[in-house]
């Protein structure tokens, strides 16, 4: 049985996140608020026992790690945000004006045309991350993106990827995924900001 824990950290705010635009693979930088949020994490993350820090290759995640005082050991493409295809840069409200009741978790992005990933494909990617991370003793910190980390948490709990719809994670929010005996659990989720 593994005892590896995961410290998951969402990147700070970007202009698109503030405006609630689907921000997948577009490399949007942290805005001023996001930089301040990331810097505020420094000294406030539970880093005891962290043996590795992994980051998405996108600047908003890498910059959050740096500003939070985390030295990245591995840049991992499997930590990229959901590929939203034709939904990229658009809000749910805009998409619902064209497709009544549309929801990324239930309808996905392929119905919009323009490719993208199905939620279960995101689940497959995070399953690979979990498998690699649980082979490392201690705590592995993962700095990535909102939907990706929500799917990762769902899969940690052995739930379908779409269970991530029931979880929210604020910009620069964090959580600890751990174990109660042999059962994977959420130890802490989205604690108040310092």
Tokens of 114: 């323009």
Q: Among residues 2, 1, 4, 51, which one has the least CA distance to residue 177?
A: 4
Please list, in sequence order, all residues whose beta carbon lies within 8 angstroms of the beta carbon of residue 91, skipping any fewer than 6 positions away: 19, 20, 21, 22
SS3 content of the chain, % helix, strand, coil (to 5): 40, 20, 40
Q: Among residues 3, 7, 45, which one has the least CA distance to residue 144?
A: 7
Collapse the DSSP code of 64 into the 3-class scheme (helix H, G, I; strand E, B; otherwise coil) and give the result: helix
Q: Which residues are catalytic?
A: 11, 81
First to last CA, the chain: 34
């Amino acid at each position: 049985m593994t005892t590896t824990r995961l410290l998951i950290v969402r990147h700070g705010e970007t202009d698109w996140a503030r405006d609630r635009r689907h921000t997948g693979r577009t490399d949007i930088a942290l805005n001023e608020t996001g930089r301040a949020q990331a810097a505020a994490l420094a000294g406030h993350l539970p880093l005891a026992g962290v043996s590795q820090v992994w980051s998405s290759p996108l600047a908003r995640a890498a910059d959050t790690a740096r500003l939070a005082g985390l030295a990245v050991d591995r840049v991992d493409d499997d930590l990229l945000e959901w590929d939203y295809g034709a939904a990229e840069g658009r809000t749910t409200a805009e998409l619902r004006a064209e497709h009544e009741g549309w929801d990324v978790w239930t309808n996905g992005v392929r119905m919009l045309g323009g490719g993208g990933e199905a939620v279960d494909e995101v689940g497959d990617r995070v399953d690979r991350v979990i498998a690699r991370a649980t082979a490392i003793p201690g705590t592995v910190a993962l700095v990535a993106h909102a939907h990706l980390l929500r799917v990762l948490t769902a899969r940690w709990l052995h739930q379908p990827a779409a269970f991530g719809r029931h979880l929210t994670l604020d910009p620069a929010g964090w959580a600890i995924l751990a174990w109660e005996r042999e059962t994977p659990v959420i130890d802490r989720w989205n604690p108040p900001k310092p």
